[in-house]
Amino acid sequence: MKIDMKKGNLERFVTPAAAVFLFEGEEPAGSAALLDRASGGLVTELLKAGDFKARLHATALLYTGKALPARRLILVGLGKRKEVTLDRIRGAFAAAAREARRLDAKDLAASTDIGLPEEKPERIVAAAVEGVLLGLYRYLPYKTVDREEFRDLQSFTIMEADGARGKAIRKAAAEAEAVSRAVCFTRDLVSAPGNEMTPDRMAKEAKKMAAGRKLAVKVFGEPDLRKLGMNALLGVARGSNEPPRLIAVEYRGGKRGAAPVVLVGKGITFDSGGISLKPAENMGEMKEDMAGGAAVLGVLQAVADIALPLNVVGLVPAVENLPDGKAYKPGDVLTTFSGQTVEIMSTDAEGRLILADALSYARKRYRPAALIDMATLTGACVVALGDLGTGLFGKDADLNARIRAAAAETGELVWEMPLWEEYVELIKSDVADWKNTGGRSGGAITAALFLKQFAGEGPWAHLDIAGASWLKKDRPWTPKGASGIGVRLLVEVLKRWSAPA
């Protein structure tokens, strides 16, 4: 879909559909008031009849006849003015776009003037572009029947009457578009079935994504991994016929030699649990166990597209976890890249093993300014924070504060969790240095404490996205399924990192 910026007035623009926004219990404001006046009161008439209350994300449709150049007018509720947030605005634009698509309108036009003069138009335009692109997302490659039912909006036009603002608004729109496309790229990778999205396919997708961008990709195959001594990663891979990969994507937008921020993402392309087999029910959902890795690839795409002045590296250990005669087993001991040994208690605690190797490799190879990993790591985190929450673990107060501040901006629900040293004993092994599980209680914490042993010295944070990576229900600008969680969050962290203080 095309995002277009035009200088001019929405009430004079010829389009199949224009969207205007209204607050609950108020007269039309901003572009809604302008279109109302230009049309001789179409909007106030609807409000007066009591047919539209401007409840949050509710829509109403008007056919304008000869009253306006826009053929249809889509009214979207913003709810109560004093409760409005940027996230709600994002959702309102998503609602408008979905309505336009349902009507098979090919273009949707709107103005940045939604009747909220205290908010910067750059932020509104970003929310608008994100809402439209993210709210319209669908995963259709495997739909072969009734394809004509899947209509597409072809363009979204943003009208700005004030020419002086044009440049700033254009930049904000272009950035929001780049980041939204990266989120959709991540959603595509996560939505893809496990038989397609194998470790090797993930590596190929990374290369394809990097081609034509200022990104360098290096893919380590089995022999490389053996030479490096990544035996935890290789141990998990043994039960599958799909060969493992370690994908490294490097972006050098900063000073030569400046320490990069390194992002590590769990890339289990399917998690059956291995010999510690998961129950059959809903096992298919575990194709999403590479959501952290997919988000890391999405972040690198976005960072390159918006040309951040910063060095960033993405590392994705990609492995399939299956049971087999060759598979690793409970009771096995693996020697990790760091030299530390791990006794396997459950082959279903595989994510922390591949991350252990990737994290210590990241520390040694890149000497990062900050190391952040993202993983669908534990069901325990879902129990603690629910289906939408992301757990944040880390001892570096500055890095945690940066992540929380970014989350407040992007609307992602991130909650800081403890890394209590008192629980380290739960992962101490009798025969090896560590056990790969610490029991049921505090499972998200002991998993994070395990990672901590391999993250080395220096700022490190871990994000457990097991809940938020896959939505069971539609949300305002995120259709159910792969959410792309973490992409906007980490892009925001990196944007602030690179901004002059």
Closest distance of CB 324 from ligand BES, Å: 17
Q: Which of 107, 113, 130, 271 binds Mn ion (CB under 5 A)?
A: 271
Within residues 106-145, the interface with ligand BES by CB under 6 A covers none
Site string for Zn ion, 344-363 (x = CB under 5 A): -------x------------
Residue 373 binding Zn ion, by CB under 5 A = no
Within 68-213, strands assigned E span 72-77, 107-111, 155-160
Of 277, 218, 227, nearest in space to 245 by CA:
218
- Smallest separation, CB 273 to Mn ion (Å): 6
Length of the chain equals 501
What amino acid positions are annotated as catalytic residues? 278, 352
Closest separation in Å from C-beta 148 to ligand BES: 35
DSSP of 450-488: HHHHHH-SS-EEEEE-TTTTEESS-BTTB-SEE--TTHH
CB atoms within 10 A of CB 49: 8
Number of Cβ within a 10 Å radius of residue 103: 17
- Which residue in 188, 271, 305, 373 binds ligand BES (CB under 6 A)? 271
Residue pointed to by tokens 């947030």:
85
The DSSP element (H or E) to which 17 belongs, if any, is strand 17-22
Closest by alpha carbon to 369, among 456, 452, 262, 461? 262
Are 107 and 156 in contact by the 8 Å Cβ rule? The answer is yes
**Shortest distance (Å) from residue 429 CB to ligand BES:** 14
Distance of alpha carbon 472 from its chain centroid, rounded? 16
Q: Which does 382 bind (CB under 5 to 8 A by kind): ligand BES, Mn ion, Zn ion, none?
A: ligand BES
Closer CB to ligand BES, residue 221 or residue 379? 379
Q: Is 288 in the site for Mn ion (CB under 5 A)?
A: no
Residue 277 DSSP symbol:
P
From candidates 271, 288, 343, 464, binder to Zn ion by CB under 5 A: 271
Judged by beta carbon, residue 250 or residue 271, the one nearer Mn ion is: 271
Instruction: Decide if 406 contacts 393 (C-beta within 8 A).
Output: no
The residues pairing with 414 across neighbouring beta strands, listed in sequence order, are 390
Lookup: tokens for 161: 């009457």
Q: Residues 380-419: x/- map of binding to ligand BES (CB under 6 A)?
A: x-x-------------------------------------
DSSP 115: S
Contact between 343 and ligand BES per CB under 6 A: no
Q: Does the protein bind Zn ion through residue 115 (CB under 5 A)?
A: no
Q: In whole angstroms, how close is the CB of 206 to Mn ion at the nearest point?
A: 23
Question: Cβ closer to Mn ion: 271 or 357?
Answer: 271
Residue in 336, 338, 378, 498 binding ligand BES, rule: CB under 6 A: 378
Q: 361 to 390, contacts with Mn ion by CB under 5 A?
A: none
- Residue 467 CB, shortest distance to ligand BES, in Å, is 7
Q: Cα(488)–Cα(175) distance, rounded to whole angstroms?
A: 11
Kindly tell me which residue out of 268, 355, 444, 491 binds Zn ion, with binding defined by CB under 5 A: 268
- Under 8 Å between Cβ of 269 and 319: yes
For ligand BES, the closer CB: 202 or 377: 377
Residue among 128 and 286 whose Cβ is closer to Mn ion: 286
Which residue of 198, 338, 437, 483 would you call a contact of ligand BES, by CB under 6 A? 437
Question: In the chain, what's the furthest Cα-to-Cα distance?
Answer: 82
Note whether 251 and 311 are within 8 A (CB). Answer: yes
Using CB under 5 A, count the residues that bind Zn ion.
4
Residue 292 near Zn ion by CB under 5 A: no
Please identify which residue in 399, 466, 493, 494 interacts with ligand BES, judged by CB under 6 A.
466
**Residue entry with tokens 């072809």:** 154
Amino acid at 245: R
Considering only residues 286 to 315 of the shown chain, the ones binding ligand BES according to CB under 6 A are: 289
One residue of 114, 319, 349, 353 binding ligand BES per CB under 6 A: 349
> Residue 216 forms beta bridges with which residues?
250
Task: Calculate the alpha carbon distances from 13 to 10, 70, 107, 122, 466 in Å.
Answer: 5, 6, 11, 21, 45
Closer of 79 and 199 to ligand BES (Cβ): 199
Chain positions contacting ligand BES, by CB under 6 A = 271, 289, 346, 348-351, 376-380, 382, 437, 443, 466
Chain positions contacting Mn ion, by CB under 5 A = 271, 348
